[in-house]
Amino acid sequence: MEGRTPYQMALEQLNKCAKIMKLDPNVHEMLKYPKRVLTVNVPVRMDDGRIKVFTGYRSQHNDALGPFKGGVRYHPNVSVEEVMALSIWMTWKCSVAGIPLGGGKGGIICDPKKLSPGELERLSRGYFAAIRNIVGPDMDIPAPDVNTGGREMAWFLDEYNKYKGCNNPGVVTGKPLEIGGSLGRTEATGRGLSIVAREAARRLGIDFKKSDVAVQGFGNVGYYSAKFMQEFGCRIVALSDSKGGVYNPNGIDVEALLAYKQKSGKLSGFPGSKEVTNEEVLEVPCDILIPAALENQITKENAGRVKARLVLEGANGPTTPEADEMLFKRGIVVIPDILANAGGVSTSYFEWVQNGQNYYWTYDEVLQKLDKLMTAAFANVWESYKKYNVEMRMAAYICAIERVTAAMKVKGWC
Interaction between residue 294 and ligand NAD (CB under 6 A):
yes
Answer for which of 315, 338, 367, 394 binds ligand NAD (CB under 6 A) is 315
Min. distance of Cβ 258 from ligand NAD in angstroms?
11
Nearer to ligand NAD, 7 or 89 (CB): 89
Nearer to ligand NAD, 280 or 287 (CB): 280
Region of 291-299, 300-308, 321-329, 390-398 interacting with ligand NAD (CB under 6 A): 291-299
Interaction between residue 219 and ligand NAD (CB under 6 A):
yes
Interaction between residue 242 and ligand NAD (CB under 6 A):
yes
Answer for which of 293, 323, 332, 392 binds ligand NAD (CB under 6 A) is 293
Distance CA 385, CA 5 (A): 27
Contacts 24+ apart (CB under 8 A), 328-331: 328/391, 330/303, 330/304, 330/306
Distance CA 404, CA 23 (A): 11
Interaction between residue 258 and ligand NAD (CB under 6 A):
no
Q: What are the φ/ψ torsions at residue 65 (nearest 5 degrees)?
A: -85, -20
Q: Are strands 51-62 and 103-109 parallel, antiparallel or unpaired?
A: antiparallel
Min. distance of Cβ 53 from ligand NAD in angstroms?
28
Nearer to ligand NAD, 93 or 235 (CB): 93
Min. distance of Cβ 345 from ligand NAD in angstroms?
7
Cα dihedral: 39, 45, 47, 52 (round 10): 50
Interaction between residue 189 and ligand NAD (CB under 6 A):
yes
Min. distance of Cβ 274 from ligand NAD in angstroms?
17
147: left (phi over 0), alpha (psi -120 to 50) or beta: left
Task: Give the amino acid at 222.
Answer: G
Answer for which of 216, 230, 320, 355 binds ligand NAD (CB under 6 A) is 216
Contacts of 131 (CB under 8 A, 6+ apart): 38, 40, 56, 58, 106
Nearer to ligand NAD, 199 or 337 (CB): 337
Min. distance of Cβ 162 from ligand NAD in angstroms?
28
Answer for which of 18, 27, 135, 221 binds ligand NAD (CB under 6 A) is 221
Helix (H) or strand (E) holding 275: strand 274-276
Answer for which of 278, 299, 302, 375 binds ligand NAD (CB under 6 A) is 278
From the list 105, 175, 227, 261, the catalytic residue is 105
Nearer to ligand NAD, 65 or 214 (CB): 214
**What string of DSSP letters covers 100-147?**
S--EEEEEEE--GGGS-HHHHHHHHHHHHHHTGGG-BTTTEEEEE-TT
Distance CA 153, CA 155 (A): 5
Q: Is 105 a residue of the active site?
A: yes
Task: Give the amino acid at 117.
Answer: P
Q: Are 75 and 148 in contact (CB under 8 A)?
A: no
Q: Could you list the active site residues?
A: 105
**Contact footprint for ligand NAD (CB under 6 A):** 189, 216-222, 240-242, 278, 292-294, 314-316, 341, 344
